[in-house]
Amino acid sequence: MNDYQMPSWGYWVMGVGLALYLVLLVGYFIKCRGFRRPVFASPYVLWIVIFTVIPVLLVAYFALTDGNGNFTLDNFRDFWDSDYLRRAAISPERAEKLKERGMTLEEYLPPNSSNVDTLIHSIWMAFQCTVICLLLGYPAAHIMADREFKLGATLVVLFMVPMWMNFVLRTYALSELLEEDGLINNILKGVGIGARQLLNTDGAIQLGMVYNYLPFMVFPIYNSLNKMDYKLSEAAMDLGCNKWQTFYKVTLPLSVPGVISGITMVFMPAVTTFAISRMLGGGKTPPLFGDLIEKRFSGSALNWNLGSALSMVMMVLILISLGFLQKADPKGEGGGII
């Protein structure tokens, strides 16, 4: 396979960028006669250029070229029709022979889920994860933000403590619990239900995602509920709302920014994860889209061009969904998206 490396223009862009940066820095320094705001902001600009702008350009470059650096859209075709490569590897003569034997190409080729199927599966899993997090997280946030609930602050800390622990450690701990003779199965055996296959299932991955991402749902909602003026719910009750009406006519609409922010912060990492599915799926579950991308860059099926194309598809989908979410919270009150 190809020996992938940064194309030479990448160095040029970086070089020119750095030079431009230095020129601007000196220019501003002279113009403002000292260290003013633009000068202080410049390290961040440099950071963005090196670690965001150039990488995105490189991803676009690889996605739109073949192994020799020539422009092509084949990578996107390969995303759409992942069997194409394999079919292309079979000579027309061989295909003819298969036909004579009464076999279709599909039957001959080993079963393989397509990139599109994987993408749909990934989105579906992330969607489920987001819904579960919302259903678990909203009531939790509501309880924590309740003025009359004295343990609210304690609960906030309890929700935060797992986040202080290393992500990998947390997930491994979960896999220990789910093992064939792990704690949960032992309990199941103890009460007479019998051991189940828990680890290496979609359910285990889902559990891992919800477990890891729940705080990202709870805290934005908690924040938006917490900063809400409690007098507003009193006003609603005063005007004739019972508790339930107060909730869906006042509290819920006012917490929408938090909900939007929470959905974004859960859905994004969930749809791109590969670590959780690897640790809790053990390669025995249908792959997630993050797995596919990862495999193209460091795994068995090295292909930076295809991997970049897959990343681009993901990026565009995320941008589109962000656009929709932005519409629901035009003022960005949820505390910023991404």
Partner 1 sequence: MEEQRLISLENICKAYDGVTVLNNINLYIRKKEFVTLLGPSGCGKTTTLRIIGGFENADSGRVIFDGKDISGIPPYKRRVNTVFQKYALFPHLNVKDNIAFGLKLKKLPKDEIARRVDYMLDLVNLSGYGKRSVESLSGGQQQRIAIARALVNEPEVLLLDEPLGALDLKLRKEMQLELKSMQQRLGITFLYVTHDQEEALTMSDTIVVMRGGNILQIGTPKSIYDEPKNAFVANFIGESNIFSGTMVRDELVHFCGEDFPCVDSGFGEDKPVDVVIRPEDVLIVGEDVGQVTGVIKSVLFKGVHYEMMIDAGHSIWKVHSTTMQPEGSRVGLSVVPFNLHIMKPMAQEEKPGEEQADE
Under the rule (CB under 8 A), what is the footprint of partner 1?
229, 231-232, 234-242, 245, 249-250, 253-254
SS (H, E, C) the chain: CCCCCCCHHHHHHHHHHHHHHHHHHHHHHHHHCCCCHHHHHHHHHHHHHHHHHHHHHHHHHHHCECCCCCECCHHHHHHHCCHHHHHHHCCHHHHHHHHHCCCCHHHHCCCCCCHHHHHHHHHHHHHHHHHHHHHHHHHHHHHHCCCCCCCHHHHHHHHHHHHHCCHHHHHHHHHHHHCCCCHHHHHHHHCCCCCCCCCCCHHHHHHHHHHHHHHHHHHHHHHHHHCCCHHHHHHHHHCCCCHHHHHHHHHHHHHHHHHHHHHHHHHHHHHHCCHHHHHHHCCCCCCCHHHHHHHHHHCCCCCHHHHHHHHHHHHHHHHHHHHHHHHHCCCCCCCCCC
Q: Given the complex with partner 1, which of 177 and 254 has the nearer CB atom?
A: 254
Supply the minimum distance, in Å, between the C-beta of residue 126 and partner 1.
29
CA dist., res. 259 & res. 329, Å (int): 10
Q: Given the complex with partner 1, which of 31 and 227 has the nearer CB atom?
A: 227
Supply the minimum distance, in Å, between the C-beta of residue 157 and partner 1.
24
Q: Given the complex with partner 1, which of 22 and 328 has the nearer CB atom?
A: 328
Backbone CA torsion sign across 263, 265, 268, 271: negative
CA dist., res. 201 & res. 188, Å (int): 17
Q: Given the complex with partner 1, which of 143 and 237 has the nearer CB atom?
A: 237
Q: Given the complex with partner 1, which of 220 and 281 has the nearer CB atom?
A: 220
Give the angle 85-91-96 at the CA atoms, nearest 5°: 120
Q: Given the complex with partner 1, which of 254 and 318 has the nearer CB atom?
A: 254
Supply the minimum distance, in Å, between the C-beta of residue 244 and partner 1.
11
Supply the minimum distance, in Å, between the C-beta of residue 235 and partner 1.
4
Supply the minimum distance, in Å, between the C-beta of residue 256 and partner 1.
8
Supply the minimum distance, in Å, between the C-beta of residue 142 and partner 1.
17
Supply the minimum distance, in Å, between the C-beta of residue 144 and partner 1.
22
Q: Given the complex with partner 1, which of 144 and 236 has the nearer CB atom?
A: 236
Supply the minimum distance, in Å, between the C-beta of residue 8 and partner 1.
55
Compute how many other C-beta atoms are within 10 angstroms of the C-beta atom of residue 4.
14
CA dist., res. 37 & res. 168, Å (int): 39
Which tokens hold the place of 171?
């997930």
Supply the minimum distance, in Å, between the C-beta of residue 229 and partner 1.
6
Q: Given the complex with partner 1, which of 57 and 232 has the nearer CB atom?
A: 232
Q: Given the complex with partner 1, which of 71 and 244 has the nearer CB atom?
A: 244
